[in-house]
Amino acid sequence: MGSVTARTAYLSLWGSQGITFDLDRMRADLGGVRIERFTARAVSANGNRTGRMGADLWVLADGQVRFAQKGLRPTETVDIEVTLEEGTRFLTLVTSARDAASMDAGENWHVFQNPALELSRAF
């Protein structure tokens, strides 16, 4: 039997930025799928260096807040699970630095670990 290696995917954002995904485009490219939910684990990545930097995180579906976590400290993680209704067009992830003594690049990164869109067959 071969060995299995666990892999982790990351999506990282500089604080006070966001990224929007066009779910209609993904549906068209994938053909015949429904996008059921978005999941990830979030962490304020490099703030562990000084412990000063926290984060606020949001997940929006078509501009409506579906998940919010304010005051995520550098050593904390939070699991995100957002159910997406059929026809949801856009998914947006937003981060914001909190308690920033500086905007040092080494302290202002936020990570979505294993971000995933859960799919099912459209019938």
| DSSP per-residue letters across 13-69 | EETT-EEEEEHHHHHHHH-SEEEEEEEEEEEE-GGGGTS--EEEEEEEETTEEEEEE
CATH number of 98's domain: 2.60.120.1060
Distance (Å, whole) CA 80 – CA 44: 14
**Paired tokens of 50:** 């000084």
pTM: 0.83
Query: Is residue 46 a contact partner of residue 75, using CB atoms and an 8 Å limit?
Result: no
The total of structural domains in the chain comes to 1
In which domain, by residue range, is 35 found? 10-121
The one-digit pLDDT tens for each residue of the chain (123 residues) are 455 566 788 888 877 789 999 999 999 999 889 999 999 999 876 554 555 567 789 999 999 999 999 888 777 889 999 999 999 999 999 988 776 554 555 566 778 999 999 999 876
